[in-house]
């Protein structure tokens, strides 16, 4: 595999580098040195930087689009093992054996409308940047759910609303 192909593969394995390239925010020399060290690229950093510049020219520009969705907060939810589910609770989210249901000490942030996996990824990225721990999250159809601690509920609503206002296009 050529150094250019290895560089592209290393960037694709690190989506934040790809996003920064698309947005034009990368110091190519610094990124090349970083990738050489962390991705074990066997090549001269100047050659890796040149490959990054060429790859950047092929990538679409970084763009965002707003999503129309209603965001609300639902306090008093919990995480349970599905085996313990007596069937009485309303299930907000189910993944494998686990479920988010009414009755607990957490808060669910619910968004309905123009949401999808890209919107969830944007919300999770912003929640992480805001130091809000997410206990569970998912999306299906026109619904998105993020479960956070009760204390982080109000912050999480604001963060999710902001994230939905500028979802990166892929």
**Are the CB atoms for 102 and 90 separated by under 8 Å?**
yes
Pick the closest to residue 66 from 119, 126, 29 (CA basis). Answer: 119
- pLDDT given at position 40: 87
Where in the chain are the domains? Answer: 3-58, 65-168
Using the predicted structure, report yes or no on whether residue 85 has a pLDDT greater than 70. Answer: no
Burial class (CB in 10 A: 0-12, 13-18, 19+), 88: exposed
> Mean pLDDT throughout 141-166?
97
For helices 28-38 and 3-12, the axis angle rounded to 10 degrees is 90
**Cα distance between residue 144 and residue 148, in whole Å:** 13
Q: What is the mean pLDDT of the chain?
A: 94
Least confident of 78-92, 105-119, 121-135, 154-168: 78-92
- pLDDT given at position 33: 95
Using the predicted structure, report yes or no on whether residue 145 has a pLDDT greater than 60. Answer: yes
**Cα distance between residue 76 and residue 83, in whole Å:** 20
Using the predicted structure, report yes or no on whether residue 65 has a pLDDT greater than 70. Answer: yes
Least confident of 24-33, 74-83, 138-147, 152-161: 74-83
Using the predicted structure, report yes or no on whether residue 157 has a pLDDT greater than 90. Answer: yes
**For the chain, what percent of residues have pLDDT higher than 90?**
87
Q: Is the pTM of this model over 0.85?
A: yes
> Mean pLDDT throughout 49-75?
97
Q: What is the pLDDT of residues 89-117, one digit of tens each?
A: 688 888 888 999 999 999 999 999 999 99
> Mean pLDDT throughout 8-36?
96
Say if domain 65-168 classifies as CATH 3.30.2130.10.
yes
Using the predicted structure, report yes or no on whether residue 34 has a pLDDT greater than 80. Answer: yes
> Mean pLDDT throughout 7-23?
96
- pLDDT given at position 87: 60
């Amino acid at each position: 595999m050529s150094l250019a192909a290895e560089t592209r593969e290393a960037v694709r394995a690190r989506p934040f580098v790809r996003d920064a390239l698309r947005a034009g925010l990368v110091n190519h020399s610094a990124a090349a040195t970083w990738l050489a060290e962390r991705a074990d690229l066997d090549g001269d950093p100047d050659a890796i930087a040149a490959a990054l510049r060429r790859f950047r020219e092929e990538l679409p520009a970084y763009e965002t689009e707003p999503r129309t969705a209603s965001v609300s907060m639902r306090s008093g939810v919990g995480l349970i093992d599905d085996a313990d589910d007596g069937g009485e609770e309303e299930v907000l989210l189910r993944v494998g054996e686990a479920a988010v249901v009414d009755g607990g000490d957490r808060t669910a942030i619910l968004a309905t409308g123009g949401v999808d996996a890209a919107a969830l990824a944007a919300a999770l990225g912003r929640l992480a940047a805001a130091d809000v721990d997410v206990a569970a999250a998912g999306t299906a159809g026109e619904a998105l759910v993020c479960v956070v601690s009760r204390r982080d509920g109000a912050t999480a609503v604001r963060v999710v609303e902001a994230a939905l206002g500028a979802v990166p296009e892929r």
